[in-house]
Structure formats: structure tokens, C-alpha cells
Amino acid sequence: MTRLGIGVVGAGRVGAVLGSALRAAGHPVVGVSAVSEASRERADALLPGVPVLDVPEVVRRAELVLLAVPDDALAELVAGLAATVAWQPGQIVVHTAGRYGAAVLDPARAQGVIPIALHPAMTFTGTSLDLSRLVGCTFAVTAPTPVLPIGQALVVEMGGEPVVLDEAARPLYHAALAHGANHLVVLVAQAGQALAAAGVADPGAVLRPLLTAALDGALRAESAGGGRDAEGEVTNGAVTTLTGPVRRGDAGTVRDHLDVLTDLGVRTGATDVAASYRALSRAATGRALAAGLLRAEQGRALLDVLATGDPAPEAGPGAPGVTGPTPDGAGPAHAAGPDGSTVHGAHDDEGAGGGTAGPGADQEDQA
């Protein structure tokens, strides 16, 4: 590509790193805006010698403007700059918000800019460590068809792998990434708190090999995908790597887990741990049933425990689902068994069923 003068709007964890990566690819960075003291320090570390300017001046100097601001601030920023006629015909404007495609840049596009949405599917520390992590990182690229090659080329120059994503798919794409990355952090925090309460001095050291192995196996299986593998065996992605009491159908163990986690909440106020365990165990049960990893009666017993705390009487082999008791008189929750039968489990005390659901300031993080 032709060397472009880059203007970085928002020296948060994302903007400063991507600006540095583009600079390393040969594009001069002509200006950066930095609101907070942390952002100014980040700009100084990752973009040394680049002048810190106000936003209109960054835009005025740049041939390519990189907008790395929080999603909720993006539309207002673009419209505000359009109102002052700050955008320049032929200027490339790239934003990094996962939630939006190129349409959020329409006010700038009306003034002749080339709109591109680039979103790296990774989390950022805002340090030079992120530069090596960009290599092989997937970037979602959304732009009008004629200018898609520009966005793809920028990604390749930063060491990433471009994946073209439709405008309408951006919200679901971003929700999937946030659900996976952000809630993984919450799970680690919850598990760590429970281990600390059990007397483990270094919860991270205990969790690291377990979670690393589980995550690696699940991601490998998910990359293999569903359908049939090379040997003709049916596969169901990550859920096939499920282990633990739900996978084994150990309803009694799940009940005991709920008891001790509920007690943890009473003692420490961490009531979210038991609630998360219940919700995710219900989801695991539904997916395990759908993948044929559990028998129908095992799924029914698990759903009953998750709803009421007590497993219903064991159903005979091949029996259709048995309706468990409901504490509030609500109707039964349902999960599909691997043989097409229906597995019934009572609603919990919040009325949640047992089914499985399908899927400003500087921008300081990502995903």
C-alpha cells in the first residue's frame, strides 16, 4: 500500500497499539489524541515522538484516521466532526468498535471519506506485548465492497488475518466475543474466590493447568466444527470435550456443589457464584443432551437438581421424560433428549426454564 499519514484518535489500549503496528509497517503517525494521563503515557511509550493534539487537528493532518474510542462514543464523535466539516474527501476513516460496521461512519462518508470497520478479536494490555499478539490475530473487516481490499491490506500489514463480516452480523459477532472473553474472566474470578475460601493459597496456580487444558481442547474441537469428521463420526464442537459431573450425569455431586456454593454466598456475599454454576450447569446439560453425551434420564435428574435441589426418582431405560415438581406451580422446563424424547425438569425459583439459549473517552480495552 501507499504510505499513509496516520492520525490516532484515542490512545487507549487499542489505539496506541494499532497505531504502533501501522507505524512499524511503514506508515508515519502524524498525530494522536490522548485524554487521560494514562493515555498520554501510553502514547509516549508506544508512539514516541508523535505530537499529542486535539481531535480536530489529528483529523486535519491525517490521510488515514484511526478512531479507537468506546463503542458508545463513536457515533457522536463521527457526527460531531461531520457537523464542523472536519472530514476530508478521499480520507480513509477506520474505527475499531466491534459492535458497529461501516454504517456508523455514514456522516463522514457523506463528506467523501472511505469508511472501514476493523475489529481485532483479542484483548489488549496497552503495552508492546500486544504487538506480537497481533500476529495471526483475526480482524473482522466490514466496508463497502470496492474498498474492502484496503481494510484487508491494513490488517495484513499489522500481521493479522482479515475476515470479511457483513454489516448486519456485527452485533452478534461482538456479543459472541464479549460472552466468551469477558465471562471467562468472571468464571476465573468466581472459581478463584471459591478456592481461596477453601484454603488454597494460590488459586491461579491450581486453575492454570486445568483451565488451559480445558480451553485448548474446547477451541480445537470448535475449530473442527459440527457435522461429521474425516472418519464419518458425528461431532458437536466444543461440547464434546465436556468433563465433570454434568457430563457423567452425577446429579448428586451437582446438588452438593450447589449447597456449598450457596453457603459460600451466605458467608461472603458472593451469591453470584452459585447462580452462575446453576445457569451454566443447566446450559451444559441441554447441550450434552443434544450432543448425545447424556441419557434422557440423566438429563432429567440433573435438571431437577438444578431446579429444586433434589433429583427426581430414576426413570427406566428408554422411558420418556418425567415431569419433576415445581416449587411455584409453574409448568415444566424441557430439554431435548438424544433420542428425540423430551426431558422435563422443574423451573427454578426465578422462573428460568431448563432450555439452552443460542448465542468520549479513549478505548481502553477490546472484545
Question: Which phi and psi angles does 182 have, rounded to 5°?
Answer: -70, -40
| CATH number belonging to domain 6-165 | 3.40.50.720
In this prediction, residue 83 carries a pLDDT of: 97
Q: State how far the Cα of 328 lies from the Cα of 125, in Å rounded to an integer.
A: 47
Position 320 confidence tier, pLDDT thresholds 50, 70, 90 = very low
Position 108 confidence tier, pLDDT thresholds 50, 70, 90 = very high
Per-residue pLDDT of 57-100, as tens digits, reads: 999 999 999 999 999 999 999 999 999 999 999 999 999 999 99
Mean pLDDT of 7-36: 96
Per-residue pLDDT of 130-164, as tens digits, reads: 999 999 999 999 999 999 999 999 999 999 999 99
In this prediction, residue 17 carries a pLDDT of: 97
CA-closest candidate to residue 66, choices 98, 42, 93 = 93
Question: Which phi and psi angles does 156 have, rounded to 5°?
Answer: -60, -40
> Would you say 296 and 321 are in contact if contact means Cβ atoms under 8 Å apart?
yes
pTM confidence score: 0.79
Where do the domains of the chain lie? 6-165, 173-345
Residue 18 confidence (pLDDT) above 70: yes
In this prediction, residue 236 carries a pLDDT of: 80
**Sequence-ordered list of residues with C-beta below 8 angstroms from that of 278, at least 6 positions apart, any chain:** 258, 306, 348
Q: Sort strands 342-345 and 161-164 into parallel, antiparallel or unpaired.
A: unpaired
**Sequence-ordered list of residues with C-beta below 8 angstroms from that of 276, at least 6 positions apart, any chain:** 186, 187, 190
Instruction: State which amino acid sits at residue 334.
Output: H
> Would you say 361 and 36 are in contact if contact means Cβ atoms under 8 Å apart?
yes
- For every residue of 95-144, DSSP letters joined together read E--SS--SGGGHHHHTTT-EEEEEEESS---SSTHHHHHTTT-EEEEE--
Residue 337 confidence (pLDDT) above 50: no
